């Protein structure tokens, strides 16, 4: 279970480069309209600071109308934290710790969001499907299933 922050916002110029971005509620950033418009639908993982607390968020630009930029933000669960939870749960279930669990990206804190991670154990690689089952008062609950056969 992980705490999450769900935000839907309208603001001008909060999204930066597609590779990374950061924002701070209460301050403004400027990005050209053409840069924003080219990113409509694009998803960018960012770090956001609210009242001296850092959150990882996924930002999706939904529309641009003049200087009005609309976007959705949802907090993400750090990929290393997801891997750690999967590792701990598997260790409890099977009685031994896998060699490693890695996830390629953060998990969006939205019911139904999925992430495909990799598990390595005794030299064999398995896929792991992670699915958010619910978000309850900001707590993200997710299940995972390890593939039946190695890749």
Q: So where are the chain's domains?
A: 2-76, 79-146
At which residue do the structure tokens 């993400």 appear?
A: 76
How confident is the model at residue 142, as a pLDDT? 94
- pLDDT, tens digit, for every residue of 4-33? 343 333 332 333 333 345 454 444 455 555
How far is the C-alpha of 81 from the C-alpha of 14, rounded, in Å?
26
C-beta of residue 76 within 8 angstroms of C-beta of residue 108 = yes
Cα–Cα distance list, 103 to 11, 26, 38 (Å): 31, 32, 28
Contact, 13 vs 7, CB < 8 A?
Answer: no
Q: What is the mean pLDDT of residues 69-83?
A: 87
pLDDT digits (tens, 9 = 90+) for 92-151: 998 999 999 999 999 999 999 999 999 999 999 999 999 999 988 667 899 999 999 998
- Of 17 and 46, which is predicted with more confidence? 46
85 pLDDT more than 50: yes
- Give pTM, 2 decimals: 0.68
The answer to whether 1 and 141 are in contact (CB under 8 A) is yes
Q: Which residue has the higher pLDDT, 120 or 69?
A: 120
Strands (E), 2-138: 2-3, 6-10, 21-24, 43-50, 53-65, 68-77, 100-102, 107-108, 114-121, 124-136
């Amino acid at each position: 279970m992980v705490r999450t922050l769900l935000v839907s916002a309208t603001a001008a110029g909060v999204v930066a480069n597609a590779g990374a971005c950061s924002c701070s509620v209460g301050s403004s950033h400027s990005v050209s309209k053409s840069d924003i418009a080219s990113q409509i639908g694009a998803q960018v993982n960012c770090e956001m600071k609210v009242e001296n607390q850092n959150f990882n968020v996924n930002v999706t630009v939904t529309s641009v109308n003049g200087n009005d930029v609309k976007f959705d933000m949802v907090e993400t669960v750090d990929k290393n934290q997801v891997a750690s939870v999967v590792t701990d749960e598997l260790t409890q279930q099977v009685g031994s710790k896998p060699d490693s669990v890695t996830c390629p990206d953060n998990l969006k804190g939205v019911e139904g969001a999925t992430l495909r991670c990799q598990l390595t154990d005794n030299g064999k690689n398995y896929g792991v499907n992670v699915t958010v089952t619910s978000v309850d008062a900001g707590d993200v609950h997710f299940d995972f299933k390890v593939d039946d056969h190695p890749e």
